[in-house]
Structure 1
Amino acid sequence: MTDAVMLFAAGFGTRMGALTKDRPKPLIAVNGTPLIEHAMTFVRDLPSPRVAANAHYLSEQIVDHFAGSDVQVSVEAPNILDTGGGLKAALPLLKSDVTFTMNTDAVWDGPNPLQVLKSAWSEGMHALLLCVPKNQTIGHTGRGDIDILADGHAQWGTQTVFSGVQMIRTEIVSDTPQNVFSLKTVWEALEAKGALHAVAYPGRWCDVGHPDGISLAEAMLGSADV
């Protein structure tokens, strides 16, 4: 089965302040490399993946970035569709029963997060979230999101932080009647019936959704090279 990956790149990046005045957040550089290319490093490690990215804010820059590549861009216009709606709109490009989704505002120090998910996935799952224990997060403030139970099921809690990466069955999204919705509504429905799963990431993860995250990520990557 061909791996499918959805990269979320449509947001406004308001937490980045002036840094996103003239560019979308996924094109902000960490260690000289755009955030979205940090994500693509892991995507390219998969065998012949089918990849889509969504775009809305300054969408032409995302389109230009991937021009001439195998990455297909789903431009959301005139309105942004949120994560669930964005994935639903891109499903014809992904052409898969199961897909990865990946936020593009984080940097990783450890194994390929997509491979960690792929190794933990089983056919009975509906959605598998990749979560990071709080003491392995950098640049994240506040409490955690998810508690991972001994059997791999997930429930809302405080022990780990959702990393922005998951595997999900696409029929759950395509069957949602709305065209603008958050994936959190899908997870809430699954969690309520005990059908949401999660796995812990064994490395470090840095949130680069805010300006301070850039230097924190560069410091993390620098220490990883030592």
Structure 2
Amino acid sequence: MIFAAGLGTRMRPLTDTLPKPLIPVAGRTLLDRALDLGRDAGAGPVVVNTHHLGNRIAAHLAGRNVAISDEQGTILDTGGGLRQALPLLGRGPKDKSGPVMTLNPDVVWTGPNPLAALNAAWRDDMDVLLMLVPLDRATARQGAGDFSLDGAGRIARGGDLVYGGAQIVRPDRLADIPDRVFSLNRLWDLLIAQGRAHGIVHPGGWCDVGYPAAIPLAEGMLHG
């Protein structure tokens, strides 16, 4: 699943008329770059959620084998958005048949495909596996790190590792959260407490394309 329902407030004024996932970086939209990563990692089915200027995203995806989870009425945040999209991903609300991949489109990567790397590292004792980036290699990142890793690869809050916006997660535990609108951080905290939340570190480049000044930084990274 690709999370494309954000309002893009940090990217204004560009997002006044264009949804952030359709902003081009080095001649290719952020959304198409994310779709390429999913396709190359063998992910499927593919779902994109929409809210702000969702009709523009739907038109951009017309004719492709991509399902749309429409959040036009209420933006559901990442946790609520993933739970709503589960039927389109072939999952029920308490389905234990397997994990799903999720990807934020507003970042650019170089080096190994993060989704393929997550898939290669996934183990049955994990409920979530996050792709992390060291803070000193997190181009255009604003703010502190998110996590640290212990010797067994389990994550804890606080540290100099940034969540890169790619993960594999078992969706059945979403049923434990009663709210309709909620962040996946709620699920991560449950899994961290149980020792079933893990992470790996991406060895390549990463850029947070969250505000206009980050676009040339991402393009420089891609061309470097």
Return the TM-score normalized by structure 1: 0.93
CA contact (8 A) 2:154 2:195 kept: yes
Question: Partner of 1:159 in structure 2?
Answer: 160
Sequence identity (%): 45
Amino acid at match of 1:149: D
What is the correspondence of 1:1-226 to structure 2 with a 5 Å cutoff? 6-47=1-42, 49-96=44-91, 97-223=98-224
Q: Kindly state the Cα deviation for residue 17 of structure 1 after the two structures are TM-superposed.
A: 1.2
SS at match of 1:190: helix
Deviations 1:146-187 (CA, angstroms, capped at 9, x unpaired): 101111100012221000111000101244322211100111
Bigger Cα displacement from structure 2, 174-183 vs 152-161: 174-183
Structure 1 unmatched runs, 5+: 1-5
Amino acid at match of 1:86: G
Return the alpha-carbon distance in structure 1 between the equivalents of residues 43 and 130 of structure 2.
Answer: 23
Return the alpha-carbon distance in structure 1 between the equivalents of residues 7 and 134 of structure 2.
Answer: 27
Amino acid at match of 1:45: D
Return the alpha-carbon distance in structure 2 between the equivalents of residues 110 and 160 of structure 1.
Answer: 18
Structure 2 unmatched runs, 5+: 92-97
Q: Kindly state the Cα deviation for residue 137 of structure 1 after the two structures are TM-superposed.
A: 1.3
Q: Cα RMSD between the aligned structures?
A: 1.1
Return the alpha-carbon distance in structure 2 between the equivalents of residues 196 and 206 of structure 1.
Answer: 24
CA contact (8 A) 2:52 2:72 kept: no
Q: Kindly state the Cα deviation for residue 144 of structure 1 after the two structures are TM-superposed.
A: 0.6
Return the alpha-carbon distance in structure 2 between the equivalents of residues 183 and 141 of structure 1.
Answer: 20
Return the alpha-carbon distance in structure 1 between the equivalents of residues 34 and 43 of structure 2.
Answer: 16
Return the alpha-carbon distance in structure 1 between the equivalents of residues 215 and 33 of structure 2.
Answer: 13
Return the alpha-carbon distance in structure 2 between the equivalents of residues 12 and 48 of structure 1.
Answer: 26
Return the alpha-carbon distance in structure 2 between the equivalents of residues 169 and 177 of structure 1.
Answer: 17
Matched positions, count: 218
Amino acid at match of 2:13: A
SS at match of 2:103: strand
Q: Kindly state the Cα deviation for residue 46 of structure 1 after the two structures are TM-superposed.
A: 2.6
Return the alpha-carbon distance in structure 2 between the equivalents of residues 23 and 163 of structure 1.
Answer: 23
Return the alpha-carbon distance in structure 1 between the equivalents of residues 58 and 177 of structure 2.
Answer: 27
Return the alpha-carbon distance in structure 2 between the equivalents of residues 118 and 202 of structure 1.
Answer: 15
Return the alpha-carbon distance in structure 1 between the equivalents of residues 143 and 42 of structure 2.
Answer: 36
Deviations 1:57-116 (CA, angstroms, capped at 9, x unpaired): 001011111111111010113110000000000000001431011001000011000011
